[in-house]
Structure 1
Amino acid sequence: MKYLVWISRIFVGILFIISGFIKLNDPMGFSFKLEEYFSPSVLDLTFFTPLALEISIFVVIAEVILGILLLIGFKPKFTVWSLLLMIVFFTFLTFYSAYFNKVTDCGCFGDAVKLTPWESFTKDVILLVFVLVLFFGKKYITPMFGSKVNWIIGGVALLACMLFANHVLAHLPSVDFRPYKIGANIQEGMSVPENAPKPVYEYAWRFKVNGEEKVIVTEGDYPSVDGEFIDVETTEIQAGYEPPIHDFTIEQEGQDYAAELLEEEKLVMVIAYDMAKSDYEAFEQVAKVTAEAKRKGYKVIGMSASSSDTAEKLIKSYGLDFEFYFTDETTLKTIVRSNPGILVLNKGTIRQKAHYNDFEELTF
């Protein structure tokens, strides 16, 4: 039992630190995932939605700190109980998502590692087993250092997490795991390789043969059956290749201009996924930055999921000299964790990306 506890202690501690730190690098992204869980179609806990970012920060910092406390063996009873409650809740959440197919990606490791709902649930079940080993063997969890040193390590870790969270929220994630990171080409991200795996479907054909229903399963071919066809049920049994970017559009009046605009050598995108939630003071700086970009030959466009009427009001209020195009809100949230934010592109390749606190760092 002693050795099992040591193995579990190292495994759970490191996994919680890694998982928590990846999400701490992008707490805004994790808050968007929580908003999905809180939505009416999932858990219907909409009263938590305004607190999604605060809950996100608390949860990811708790993950990191509990992992560190477990490794150094500090406050083992509190640590193990906290880990157990957390993993039981996560296991329920991932099972609910997988069974009812509600949230297709749990966000357990942010955008760094994508897991299917059932993979997430399996991961949590395995983790729960290790945490139960720690729970029943907590007497074997002994401190690595003295009480004073443990308090210092815990305090420093907590302060570091808070400072890091504040930094990435005030700027952008330190490490960008998304397909819209600097250096990425959007057209290439949307392309499908010629040898990419195709989806595999299973077809359950129903016929009436001699007065009785008969079901024949194939992978596409119409079966040779001497009977009356009733219907067919199609099931995807193996997903095909999905490009990293598969939902990117730049629409205006129902027409997609993405292919045309992504060929521009000098393109500036001002992104505001929801203008009602934007930092309005930042648009004063947007006006200055985009005016400078236009003087240097850049084409400037706005991208938002808000209505055209809202966009027009914003343009008039801040004297913006560019038009807004419509893009899916989730896509815009993925592109940049800032509302508003600015991207500088060259033929579809992202050269610069800036939070509204860092617009003065953009170079044209």
Structure 2
Amino acid sequence: MESKRLHSIIGLWTNACRFFLAIVFIFSGFVKAVDPLGTQYKIQDYLEAFGWTSLVPAFFPFLASVLQAMIEFCLGVYLLFGIRRRTTPLFMLLIMGVMTPLTLWLAIDNPISDCGCFGDAVVLTNWQTFWKNCFLLLAAVSVFKWRNCITPLITKRFDWLVALYTFLYILGMTLYCYRELPVFDFRPYHIGADIRKGMEIPEGAQPTVYETRFILKKDGVEKEFSLENYPDSTWTFVDSKTVVKKQGYEPPIHDFSIIRQEDGEDITEEVLNDEDYTFLLVAHQLNQADDSTIDLINELYDYSVENDYKFYCLTSSTDEDIEDWQERTGAEYPFCLMDNITLKTMIRSNPGLMLLKNGVVINKWSVNSLPDEYMLTDRLEKLPLAQINTKTFSHKVILVFAWFIFPLLFFSMVDAVWEQYHKRKRIKLNENQTK
């Protein structure tokens, strides 16, 4: 009796750990899949922290981003359904066995402020991440040790179908979000976000003091300048960076600063307070930007001029790269300088397009889905693409949930019906044999 009770307790504990691990891995893999470039940037931060940037090929961070999302999501679903019961617990144990000491090092040394395990959806401190991984490691050890206690939710007849569909689903989701934009945008520049409110400091809170430093070159000599002592146009822009002078409360948006390249003037307030529409072409590095749609971008600029809308290209590129882009594309629109990290946070496309009005993000497009002449048939005030779609988030949740859950439920129902049919057939056969 005591042994039976102990076996029941172990079974309950193992399956509780199993569902806990499954939910965490599914969520972690999914948020990485919907923002593969964000995961790529975080992997690049890790490589810089380890000093390995020059040792790995350029394509490695993105490949690692895709593989990480797919592995975590698939392992979570496999564990949830109780399939691949030998390999899934083993891989989870190996992953947590590596990640737990790694996050301990991150917590102690703090080379990176956020590990990025849940992307921008849930931001944890390094110590929070370490303790979270301790619980996950305990759960992974339990599931691996008593993996025979895992109760499958589907028979072996259909487990390959669940495994294959899970793989194809997360691969398709990752590639779609890479080509377009993240299905769910957890960053402070999402559609509908008021950038001005995101920059506000609560009453009584002490703000973090930042300073933008510009690296300029003249006669072969590079020198740093601030906004206060920005030199004349004889200096050539090389790079810019934002440094913390005094740590304090950090609002969601704390580094949104637009500097006109032509004269170094700060036009941030002018852009955010504009009550009319403003197009922002965001290209964090022009020498890496996709130029396959340059004609369409130029047409967008012509459309903005004809309708008296502002149009700026925001970049952190050097003057040489800007001039090269102008020569290659025939760009006539004005260029503005901005922090590189801010630009990559604003939109996961290089280039990408944002539409602002009165400081609010009205719409965003990747380079692969820019509005064309068939969409821009009138002034923006009369077009649906220039209106915030308040139902976008809820519709996306339902659509993403439906495309994943309903097929799996269908497979499970077919499996249950098939199993019940064969069970009745066996019973009937046994009854006929005993007669």
What is the CA–CA distance in structure 2 between the aligned matches of 1:309 and 1:261, rounded to whole Å? 25
Residue 89 of structure 2 is aligned to residue 77 of structure 1? no
Q: What code does the residue aligned with 1:262 have? A: L
Which of these residues, 326, 333, 341, is aligned with residue 337 of structure 2? 326
Residue of structure 1 equivalent to 2:172:
163
Q: How does 1:201-350 map to 2 (within 5 A)?
A: 240-251=248-259, 252=261, 254-264=264-274, 265-350=276-361
Cα deviation for residue 166 of structure 1 reads 1.4
Cα deviation for residue 64 of structure 1 reads 0.7
3-state SS, counterpart of residue 123 of structure 2: coil
Structure 2 unmatched ranges of 5 or more: 1-9, 209-246, 381-435
Which of these residues, 157, 160, 164, is aligned with residue 148 of structure 1? 157
Q: What code does the residue aligned with 2:250 have? A: E
Cα deviation, 1:108-155, whole Å, max 9, x if unaligned, reads 111111111111111111111111111111121243222121110111
> Which has the higher mean CA deviation after the structures are superposed, 283-292 or 163-172?
283-292
What is the CA–CA distance in structure 1 between the aligned matches of 2:120 and 2:334, rounded to whole Å? 31
Cα deviation, 1:178-200, whole Å, max 9, x if unaligned, reads 1001111111111112144779x
What is the CA–CA distance in structure 2 between the aligned matches of 1:267 and 1:242, rounded to whole Å? 26
Q: How does 1:92-131 map to 2 (within 5 A)?
A: 92-131=101-140
What is the CA–CA distance in structure 1 between the aligned matches of 2:22 and 2:181, rounded to whole Å? 27
Cα deviation for residue 254 of structure 1 reads 4.5
Residue of structure 2 equivalent to 1:208:
none
Q: What code does the residue aligned with 1:343 have? A: M
Given the two structures, how large is their TM-score scaled by the length of structure 2?
0.71
What is the CA–CA distance in structure 2 between the aligned matches of 1:45 and 1:130, rounded to whole Å? 33
Cα deviation, 1:235-284, whole Å, max 9, x if unaligned, reads xxxx8531000011112354422112222222111110111211111222
Which of these residues, 16, 32, 42, is aligned with residue 50 of structure 2? 42
What is the CA–CA distance in structure 2 between the aligned matches of 1:256 and 1:61, rounded to whole Å? 43
Aligned-residue sequence identity (percent) comes to 32
Given the two structures, how large is their TM-score scaled by the length of structure 1?
0.85
What is the CA–CA distance in structure 2 between the aligned matches of 1:243 and 1:42, rounded to whole Å? 29
Tell me if the contact between 2:207 and 2:250 (Cα under 8 Å) persists in the aligned partners.
no
What is the CA–CA distance in structure 2 between the aligned matches of 1:66 and 1:262, rounded to whole Å? 44
Residue 34 of structure 2 is aligned to residue 25 of structure 1? yes
Q: How many pairs were matched up?
A: 324
Which of these residues, 9, 20, 23, is aligned with residue 18 of structure 2? 9
Structure 1 unmatched ranges of 5 or more: 200-238
Q: How does 1:185-200 map to 2 (within 5 A)?
A: 185-196=194-205
3-state SS, counterpart of residue 359 of structure 1: coil
What is the CA–CA distance in structure 2 between the aligned matches of 1:305 and 1:55, rounded to whole Å? 26
Cα deviation for residue 355 of structure 1 reads 0.3
Tell me if the contact between 1:291 and 1:321 (Cα under 8 Å) persists in the aligned partners.
no
Tell me if the contact between 1:271 and 1:304 (Cα under 8 Å) persists in the aligned partners.
yes
Q: Cα RMSD between the aligned structures?
A: 1.8
Cα deviation for residue 2 of structure 1 reads 1.4
Rate the CA distance shift 1:171–1:9 in 2: closer, same or farther, 3 A.
Answer: same
3-state SS, counterpart of residue 312 of structure 2: strand
Rate the CA distance shift 1:49–1:38 in 2: closer, same or farther, 3 A.
Answer: farther
Q: What code does the residue aligned with 1:260 have? A: E
3-state SS, counterpart of residue 76 of structure 1: coil
3-state SS, counterpart of residue 50 of structure 2: coil
3-state SS, counterpart of residue 354 of structure 1: strand
Cα deviation for residue 15 of structure 1 reads 1.0
Tell me if the contact between 1:35 and 1:49 (Cα under 8 Å) persists in the aligned partners.
no
What is the CA–CA distance in structure 2 between the aligned matches of 1:360 and 1:91, rounded to whole Å? 45
Q: What code does the residue aligned with 1:64 have? A: F
Residue of structure 2 equivalent to 1:353:
364
What is the CA–CA distance in structure 1 between the aligned matches of 2:88 and 2:171, rounded to whole Å? 19
Residue of structure 2 equivalent to 1:181:
190
Cα deviation for residue 172 of structure 1 reads 0.6
Tell me if the contact between 2:201 and 2:207 (Cα under 8 Å) persists in the aligned partners.
no
Tell me if the contact between 1:304 and 1:324 (Cα under 8 Å) persists in the aligned partners.
yes
Tell me if the contact between 1:42 and 1:102 (Cα under 8 Å) persists in the aligned partners.
no
Cα deviation for residue 335 of structure 1 reads 0.2
3-state SS, counterpart of residue 201 of structure 2: coil
What is the CA–CA distance in structure 2 between the aligned matches of 1:263 and 1:42, rounded to whole Å? 42
Cα deviation for residue 48 of structure 1 reads 5.0
